[in-house]
């Protein structure tokens, strides 16, 4: 099939707005808006493979596991990853199918429950970096550490009751279902894959994979997906139209097109926050270096404009 193959990584705001509670209705409405944007991109001739985050949904599911522990067993973090992938994947395939039908585009849409291989030797297992789920008082946090073996940390030092469970966020090594994804894409399908960064798994001696309790960064996994399916472009959609230097300062400046070397320089100078813009720029750098082609970071509503070079931040080799 003709048309550029673009891995599109959707941020949290594509599914739940910051001010919302996160009801089913709210999430479906947001996903529907996202689906309209995806339909425009498909109509313009691009072939998107869509991936997405799951932070708020996984956080909510973890609360449900905690609160119902006296009645039913709490599921593991790997299972929560699978459940949220299914949840969001369904919403996306449901709304994207409809928006394509409405635009008179005959393309099958499906999501692939995706496992992503990680290494047990990843340094993040020794010093977990990713906070998940609810905030606790120090007493509750200590109790969970004793009784459940959670690793807990005060995530906002000095702020009362800002203790949270932290989990490892290892580097993705490979997308286990890459062949299935490739074949679906080659057959003309619109595929949603590696949601929430993928379900982390480790390879066992007998060749099987088993679940790992970790959360992979969706932007890093998005790059892996792009690499594994040989994509022409990586586009990361979030809630800002451009990446800025001196972000939120009086002299902040939006970046239009930068080289990998420039991006690395800004990254080392601390212009991009570790838990938010940092991994996006890192993923974009990796993609541009690996492919020799461009990666784009922009907002959801500017996606098509950015693909056409009219806006967004473009990172090129
Ligand atoms: P997503 O859910 O899309 O991954 P994040 O909140 O993790 O969203 O990342 C997007 C956020 O990154 C923006 O809303 C912005 O507040 C923040 N950010 C940090 N540094 C920068 C920067 N240098 N330029 C633009 N945005 C930045
Ligand atoms: Mg993020």
Q: pLDDT (tens digit, 9 = 90+) per residue, 66-106? A: 889 899 999 999 999 999 999 999 999 999 999 999 999 99
If you take atom 6 of ligand 1, which residue's CA is the nearest one? 276
CB 90 within 8 A of CB 195: no
For ligand 1, pick from 14, 277, 278 the residue to mutate: most ligand atoms within 8 Å of CB.
277
Q: Rounded to whole angstroms, how far apart are CA atoms 134 and 129?
A: 15
If you take atom 1 of ligand 1, which residue's CA is the nearest one? 11
The atom of ligand 1 lying closest to the CA of 276 is: 7
**Mind listing the pLDDT tens digit for each residue in 153-201?**
998 888 899 999 899 999 999 999 999 999 999 999 999 999 999 999 9
Burial 300-309 (b: 16+ CB within 10 A, else e): bebbbebbee
Given a cut of 70, whether residue 1 has pLDDT beyond it is no
Longest dimension (CA), the chain: 58
* Residue 158 backbone dihedrals phi, psi, to 5 degrees: 95, -20
> Which of 106, 60, 110 is CA-nearest to residue 83?
60
pTM: 0.95
**Mind listing the pLDDT tens digit for each residue in 191-239?**
999 999 999 999 999 999 999 999 999 999 999 999 999 999 999 999 9
Rounded to a whole number, what is the distance in angstroms from the first to the last CA of the chain? 26
Ligand 1 pocket list (CB less than 6 A): 11-12, 53, 238-240, 243-244, 247, 271-273, 276-277
**Mind listing the pLDDT tens digit for each residue in 244-260?**
999 999 999 999 999 99
- Residue 233 pairs in a beta bridge with 6
* Residue 230 backbone dihedrals phi, psi, to 5 degrees: 60, 50
What number of H helices and E strands is found in the chain? 9, 17
Q: How large is the average pLDDT for residues 118-138? A: 92
| 261 — pLDDT class (breaks 50, 70, 90) | very high
Domain 234-317 CATH class label: alpha beta
Q: Rounded to whole angstroms, how far apart are CA atoms 211 and 82?
A: 10
Q: What ranges in the chain are assigned the alpha helix state H?
A: 24-43, 55-67, 77-102, 138-148, 178-186, 218-228, 260-268, 277-291, 303-307
Q: Rounded to whole angstroms, how far apart are CA atoms 226 and 61?
A: 28
> In the CATH scheme, what is the code of domain 1-30+47-129+168-215+223-231?
3.40.1160.10
CB 12 within 8 A of CB 59: no
| 273 — pLDDT class (breaks 50, 70, 90) | confident
Burial of 273 (0-12, 13-18, 19+ CB in 10 A): exposed
For ligand 1, pick from 240, 244, 248, 266 the residue to mutate: most ligand atoms within 8 Å of CB.
240
- Span(s) in the chain for CATH 3.40.1160.10: 1-30+47-129+168-215+223-231, 234-317
């Amino acid at each position: 099939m003709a048309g550029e193959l673009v891995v599109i990584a959707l941020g949290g705001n594509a599914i739940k707005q910051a001010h919302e509670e996160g009801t089913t209705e709210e999430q479906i409405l947001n996903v529907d808006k996202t689906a309209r944007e995806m339909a425009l991109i498909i109509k313009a001739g691009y072939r998107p493979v869509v991936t997405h985050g799951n932070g708020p949904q996984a956080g909510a599911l973890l609360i449900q596991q905690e609160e119902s522990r006296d009645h039913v067993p709490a599921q593991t973090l790997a299972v929560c990853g699978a459940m949220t992938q299914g949840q969001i994947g369904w919403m996306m395939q449901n709304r994207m199918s409809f928006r394509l039908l409405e635009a008179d585009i005959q393309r099958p849409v499906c999501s692939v429950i995706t496992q992503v291989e990680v290494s047990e030797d990843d340094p993040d297992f020794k010093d977990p970096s990713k906070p998940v789920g609810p905030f606790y008082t120090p007493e509750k946090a200590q109790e969970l550490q004793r009784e459940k073996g959670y690793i807990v940390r005060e995530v906002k030092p000095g702020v009362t009751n800002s203790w949270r469970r932290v989990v490892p966020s290892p580097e993705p090594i490979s997308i286990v279902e890459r062949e299935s994804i490739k074949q679906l894409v080659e057959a003309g399908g619109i595929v949603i894959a590696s949601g929430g960064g993928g379900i982390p798994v480790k390879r066992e001696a007998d060749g099987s994979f088993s679940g790992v309790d970790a959360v992979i960064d969706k932007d890093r996994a998005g790059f892996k997906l792009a690499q594994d399916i040989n994509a022409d472009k990586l586009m990361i959609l979030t809630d800002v139209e451009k990446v800025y230097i001196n972000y939120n300062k009086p002299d902040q400046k939006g970046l239009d097109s930068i080289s990998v070397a420039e991006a690395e320089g800004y990254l080392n100078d601390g212009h991009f926050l570790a838990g938010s813009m940092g991994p996006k720029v890192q993923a974009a750098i990796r993609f541009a270096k690996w492919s020799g082609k461009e990666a784009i970071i922009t907002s959801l509503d500017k996606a098509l404009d950015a693909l056409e070079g009219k806006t967004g931040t473009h990172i090129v080799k």
